Amino acid sequence: EPEVTQTPSHQVTQMGQEVILRCVPISNHLYFYWYRQILGQKVEFLVSFYNNEISEKSEIFDDQFSVERPDGSNFTLKIRSTKLEDSAMYFCASSAGLVPDTQYFGPGTRLTVL
């Protein structure tokens, strides 16, 4: 069964450093998403991406964040200058279409900012 994959599974970085989180969505999906989940808190939407551009973003997704689909398979989330409060699980998801099409989630990348 097709699945969303994410790398790395765990990333440790120093405050102020740039990180890139990588995702390979399901191959025939057209919509891509990033969510994050701070330990013990709700899953929070960051951004959605369709047709090579951002379609929606939350207040969390400020100028420090960017997304890219550099080739036909990868979808990346870049955090330019990490802060302590960026420590969280970051989940990538993809869907074939808009609601009610299902969003399928990857296993997540645990980002720890020291």
CA angle, residues 103, 107, 112, in degrees to nearest 5 = 120
User: In the bound complex, what is the minimum distance in angstroms from residue 61's beta carbon to other proteins?
Assistant: 11
- Contacts (CB under 8 A) with other proteins, residues 47-106: 48, 50, 55-56, 58, 89, 91, 98-100, 102-106
Q: Which two tokens stand for residue 49?
A: 């991406």
User: In the bound complex, what is the minimum distance in angstroms from residue 100's beta carbon to other proteins?
Assistant: 4
Counted residue by residue, the chain has a size of 114
Radius of gyration of the chain (CA): 13
Using DSSP bridges, classify how beta strands 109-113 and 10-13 pair: parallel, antiparallel or unpaired: parallel
| Residue 25 is a binding residue for other proteins (CB under 8 A) | no
The closest of 30, 6, 1 to 94, measured between CA atoms, is 30
Shorter beta-carbon distance to other proteins: residue 13 or 45: 45
Q: Which of 19, 26, 29, 35 binds other proteins (CB under 8 A)?
A: 35
Site residues for other proteins per CB under 8 A: 4, 31, 33, 35, 41-45, 48, 50, 55-56, 58, 89, 91, 98-100, 102-108, 110
